[in-house]
Homo-oligomer: A and B are copies of this chain.
Amino acid sequence: MSELMGNLLVAQSGGPTAVINASVAGVITEAGRHECVEEIYGGLNGILGILNEELIDLGDEKRSAIEGLRYTPAAALGTCRYKIDFKKKPEKAARDMDRLFEVFQAHNVRFFFYAGGNDSQDTSHKIHEEAVRRGYELRVIGVPKTIDNDLPHTDSCPGYGSVIKYNATTVMEVGIDVASMATDDGSCCIIEVMGRSAGWIAAGTVLAKRGHPANPPHLILLPENVFDETKFLAKVKETVDAYKYCIVVVGEGIKNAAGEEIGADKERLDAFGHPVLAGAAEKLKQLVQGKLNTKTRTVLLGYAQRAAAHCASLTDATNAFACGEAAVRAAVDGRSGFMVKIVRETQPEGAIKWSTDLQPLADIANVEHFVPRDWINEDGFLPNDKFVEYARPLIEGEVRAPTEGGLPKYVTLEKSRVEKRLAPRA
């Protein structure tokens, strides 16, 4: 056991999720169990806020607010997409790193936790290496977070279970709606979900089928596969002929054979001369209506999907919280330079036992994990049983946030500022 004592700093990075705050709640809760952790600080807006010495005192927050983080979406500490980029901007990156350690030192930060995706794990890794190089005693542990589910080595990423639970629920509901309207003329609905390069989010909506081929979604277009217009239209026609309606799910980033996103139309310019980025669903709608003459509507879930805490997965929220707890335990145990990962153990009777473990950050940073090809049907239009077996447990259980006046009652933090000790950043 380490005898290192000092203050803890936790921050959030990248796109928010429905459960990233649950991880922060896990960090704070676990920190309270260890005497070596003196103050519990939060960095506002990720690295960006830390560089500006914008720290808040999480020890000042009400217990009920910390508890409320377990069901409150978005990034309660604020987030950023700021990257310390040694490759493209080495001088600026070096200055940033100097400043970070000035802030750490000024506030005696000895335990640092960063919740985020690929880029953020890379940042954590660099901070860990820098601490070692400088001989500054600091324990750095990455907390996984991303709806994209594209971090390697972990069973899944906190945020993913909730986004696919909400999206699959939406596909089910839209599917029943469209089916009940499809009387004499067939109709099609195209639901666009997030996912620029990895198709995990789109693939997850297959759970709405619940094992019945006739159930929607009838086609899922993954960004990993090249979009083939002819095959796509044939499949839509086949589906409408069979069921009178067709529900398509498309990952926003699907590309044509030339590697261009189909949602970007370079030939059409808007009023300001920019190419129109109407999105993949809109493009597909024009195709289906134009070539098949089938009434088509779109749904674009956008930010709603990653923020939908009202439909969050309890498994996901529980795992997110556990990742926060495990990060603190690891740091207190003297570990640094690791990311917490989720581990699944399937019991003989089929139940799943979730736990956590550690993976060196060096193995994580900037590696993107795609949906395995053998988890997708041969024609590429639907994930298969292997995928379903993987994804189904991730959406189990409902987080029931308290409500007030018919709306979820989410918490906001008081954010009492830690007094600055440094001159403003140059």
Contact = CB atoms under 8 A, between A and B. Distances in A.
Chain A's interface: helix, strand, loop or mixed, by majority? mixed
B408 A169 contact: yes
Copies of chain A in the complex: 2
A272 B298 contact: no
Given A169-B407, A405-B396, A286 B271 contact: yes
Contacts of A303: 174, 177-178, 189, 297, 299
Interface stretch (A33-41, A72-80, A322-330, A351-359): A72-80
Interface string A271-315: 110101011001000100111000001111111101111110101
A48 interface: yes
Interface string A99-140: 000000000000000000000000000000000000000000
A286 B274 CA distance: 9
B74 A177 contact: yes
Nearest to A211: B405
A307 B407 CA distance: 18
A64 interface: no
A151 interface: no
12 contacts: A45-B183, A80-B184, A165-B406, A173-B309, A191-B304, A207-B405, A207-B407, A271-B286, A274-B286, A274-B289, A299-B303, A311-B311
Interface of A: 15-16, 45-46, 48-49, 72-80, 82, 165, 168-170, 172-174, 176-181, 183-184, 189, 191, 207-208, 210, 268, 270-272, 274, 276, 278-279, 282, 286, 289-291, 297-304, 306-311, 313, 315, 392, 395-398, 403-408, 410
